[in-house]
Amino acid sequence: MKEWKVPKTSSRGYAIAPVYVVRTVEVKADERKISAEEVDSEIKRFEAAVAKAQEDLLELASQNEIFAAHYAMAGDIAIYDGVTGKIRENCDNAEAALMQTRDEYVMIFESMDDEYMRERAADMKDVSGRLLYALKGIEDNPFAAMKEKSIIVAKDLAPSDTAKMNLELVAGFVTEEGGVTSHVSIIAKNQGIPCLVGAGPILDEVENGMKAILDAGSGMFILEPEEALIREYEEKAAELARLTEEMERLSTLPSETMDGHKFSICANVGSPADIRNALKYQIDGVGLFRSEFLYMENDHFPTEDEQFEAYKEAAELLGGRELTIRTLDIGGDKGLDYYEFPKEENPFLGYRAIRMCLEETEMFKTQLRAILRASAFGYIRIMYPMMISVEELQAANALLLECKKELDQEQIAYDKKIQVGIMVETPAAVMMADDFAELVDFFSIGTNDLTQYVLAVDRGNPRISEKYNSFHPAVLRAIAHTIEAAHRHNAKAGMCGEFAGDEMASSLLLGMGLDEFSMSANGASRIKYQLRGVTYEAMKERAQEVLRQSTIEKVMEHL
């Protein structure tokens, strides 16, 4: 038996299941000389690899024309001659011949004047990588071999990885790297999957199929546990299921405190499927629809109609409940396969979110038009991410107005009173909160980013994850200031950062006056249950007391 413990987690729940290990090792070409007798079989091996790569690429080609070009390249006769010639003449094995041919082509492409041709070097690398995988019989999708419900253990998981797996088979996630607000944690939370990130070195110790226990709430990962421990955890899991059921049963009651103060409990989602799941928790609406997932799961910028369909479906599922759609928040740690972001020293401080949207205006308008059109089918609100200046808000609103005028001219219906708000997730937005509040209908405080920017602590860096703490008095005061500014100008104040679903924080936030708590759906019943058990008056007083504290330790003493 071996144990890992992580000091801070954002998820809860238990998984008792075998381990499925995902190793993303760089594939070595394994280059060697062959004998003259092996030449024919080596050529056949290469031809089989070409056939396999082309078969995969043909499937992908219907999604994206890049893959059609790769299909052609994989079967290119000059490349074929280059590789087989080296096998025949130099007695190189297929891997060695492929790598040399790749290098030759890459050098030729890279030395060309024409930029388009220079970019073909990347295609050549990609295609030869695929051929190498095929030669070595390695599957491109590392999750394809997963057949039973398992705990996935990996170095790190990108949002695109989760798109490749069958979530029904995922009992839990454990990653060596990543922080509690990394996107894999968020996806795990939305789906109610126990998850442990930033666990440190594990991969050397695990093997596929080893039995393990994941206790996400207390940050424990136990490999090859004894039978008695497994039984203990099975009981804990059953008890948790009972408690969750009880809270869910009570969640049909209204969202109000014991003294009648109303609040709303919303969910953060990334797709209509997430909404279907969230509705089980009796949510009052969706406080954050992360529209970027629509872009990340695609191989092209989703068209206006594709987006419209998704937003309309989401609005209709919610049947008149609020649906807050955040406009594209891409960049930082969230890339797109089909759009090249600039290489940056500090991507989290770089070209991302609203900054990109205000440059790629056609793309942005496509989204705004889709949202507006969908607003005829439900109660939709528009929310801009990463705002730092009133000018940005004005520029975004000017584009929104253009879209509205276009739709008017085309006689297409939309909600003429559609509400517009911003995410408050930068220190600039906090400092300017009064100015912003005059211009918007609502704020939604994004504590995941706000915490990292106020404290200058990278939200995904496990080395300093101890310092990433939203209970830091600076963060709490920033939150309180934002809520007060909103209310001074009759704007609503919500929160869609993970902090809104933190059991220790929720009554404090209520006391600060927060109107809306938006969180991963599976936390909704618990927070509602908790807030229904307090009085607003008492929480207001306690919040004032907490806001006077100067250290995290003193803050925690008061909670």
Q: Angle at the Cα of 384 (from 383 to 389), degrees rounded to 5?
A: 135
By a kind-dependent CB cut-off of 5 to 8 A, residue 192 interacts, out of ligand PEP, Mg ion, none, with none
DSSP run (H or E) holding 514:
none
Contact between 179 and Mg ion by CB under 5 A: the answer reads no
Which entry of 183, 195, 266, 357 is annotated as an active-site residue?
183
Contact between 494 and ligand PEP by CB under 6 A: the answer reads no
Q: Are 159 and 293 in contact (CB under 8 A)?
A: yes
Which entry of 195, 266, 357, 496 is annotated as an active-site residue?
496
Torsion angle of alpha carbons 99, 105, 107, 112, nearest 10°? Answer: -170
Pick the stretch among 84-92, 250-258, 356-364, 440-448 that binds ligand PEP (CB under 6 A): 440-448
**How far is Cα of residue 335 from the mean position of the Cα atoms in its chain?**
10
Token code pair at residue 183: 């996107």
Contact between 424 and ligand PEP by CB under 6 A: the answer reads no
> Which of 124, 496 has the CB closer to ligand PEP?
496
Considering only CA atoms, which of 542, 53, 523, 494 is closest in space to residue 287?
A: 494
Contact between 272 and Mg ion by CB under 5 A: the answer reads no
> Which of 223, 330 has the CB closer to Mg ion?
330
Among 10, 191, 447, 507, binds ligand PEP (CB under 6 A): 447
By a kind-dependent CB cut-off of 5 to 8 A, residue 497 interacts, out of Mg ion, ligand PEP, none, with ligand PEP
Distance CA 185, CA 425 (A): 19
Contact between 462 and ligand PEP by CB under 6 A: the answer reads no
Q: Shortest distance, CB of residue 425 to ligand PEP, whole angstroms?
A: 5
Q: Shortest distance, CB of residue 425 to Mg ion, whole angstroms?
A: 5
Helix, strand or coil for residue 388? coil
> Which of 257, 268 has the CB closer to ligand PEP?
268
* Amino acid (one-letter) located at 348: F
Active site (annotated) includes residue 91: no
Helix, strand or coil for residue 299? coil
Distance CA 394, CA 281 (A): 37
Active site (annotated) includes residue 496: yes
By a kind-dependent CB cut-off of 5 to 8 A, residue 523 interacts, out of ligand PEP, Mg ion, none, with none
Pick the stretch among 204-212, 368-376, 396-404, 444-452 that binds ligand PEP (CB under 6 A): 444-452
Residues 344 to 373 in contact with ligand PEP, rule: CB under 6 A? none
Q: Going residue by residue from 166 to 195, which x/- string records binding to ligand PEP, judged by CB under 6 A?
A: ---------------x--------------
Helix, strand or coil for residue 38? helix
Token code pair at residue 482: 């934002």
Among 159, 179, 219, 446, binds Mg ion (CB under 5 A): 446
By a kind-dependent CB cut-off of 5 to 8 A, residue 274 interacts, out of Mg ion, ligand PEP, none, with none
By a kind-dependent CB cut-off of 5 to 8 A, residue 352 interacts, out of Mg ion, ligand PEP, none, with none
Q: Shortest distance, CB of residue 429 to ligand PEP, whole angstroms?
A: 11
Contact between 291 and ligand PEP by CB under 6 A: the answer reads no
Distances (CA, A) of 345 to 147, 330, 349: 40, 17, 9
Q: Shortest distance, CB of residue 386 to ligand PEP, whole angstroms?
A: 8
DSSP run (H or E) holding 405:
helix 390-409
Pick the stretch among 43-51, 248-256, 444-452, 478-486 that binds Mg ion (CB under 5 A): 444-452
Distances (CA, A) of 359 to 53, 351, 352, 399: 37, 10, 10, 11
Q: Which string of b and e fits 487-507 if b means at least 16 CB within 10 Å?
A: eeeebbbbbbbbbbbbeebbb
Among 159, 378, 421, 497, binds ligand PEP (CB under 6 A): 497
Q: Give the nearest residue (CB) to ligand PEP.
A: 446
Contact between 202 and ligand PEP by CB under 6 A: the answer reads no
Handedness of CA 299, 305, 306, 308 (dihedral sign): positive
Among 290, 312, 369, 373, binds ligand PEP (CB under 6 A): 290
Q: What is the DSSP letter of 349?
A: G
Q: Are 521 and 248 in contact (CB under 8 A)?
A: no
Among 95, 161, 449, 502, binds Mg ion (CB under 5 A): 449
Which residues are within 8 A (CB) of 449 and not within 5 positions of it... i.e. 6 or more apart?
Answer: 386, 423, 425, 426, 459, 497
Pick the stretch among 7-15, 197-205, 413-421, 446-454 that binds ligand PEP (CB under 6 A): 446-454
Q: Going residue by residue from 413 to 432, which x/- string records binding to Mg ion, judged by CB under 5 A?
A: ------------x-------
Distance CA 282, CA 288 (A): 16
* Amino acid (one-letter) located at 393: L
DSSP run (H or E) holding 35:
none
> Which of 42, 449 has the CB closer to Mg ion?
449
Q: What is the DSSP string of 416-477?
A: TT-EEEEEE-SHHHHHTHHHHHHH-SEEEE-HHHHHHHHHT--TT-GGGGGG--TTSHHHHH
Pick the stretch among 65-73, 114-122, 150-158, 441-449 that binds ligand PEP (CB under 6 A): 441-449
Contact between 159 and Mg ion by CB under 5 A: the answer reads no
Distance CA 373, CA 392 (A): 23
User: In 297-388, which ranges are continuous DSSP H helix?
Assistant: 304-318, 353-357, 361-374
Q: Shortest distance, CB of residue 500 to ligand PEP, whole angstroms?
A: 9
Among 176, 284, 415, 449, binds ligand PEP (CB under 6 A): 449
Pick the stretch among 270-278, 449-457, 479-487, 541-549 that binds Mg ion (CB under 5 A): 449-457
Among 153, 174, 496, 527, binds ligand PEP (CB under 6 A): 496
By a kind-dependent CB cut-off of 5 to 8 A, residue 496 interacts, out of ligand PEP, Mg ion, none, with ligand PEP
Interface ranges with ligand PEP (CB under 6 A) = 181, 288, 290, 329, 425, 446-449, 496-497
Residues involved in catalysis = 183, 496
Interface ranges with Mg ion (CB under 5 A) = 425, 446, 449
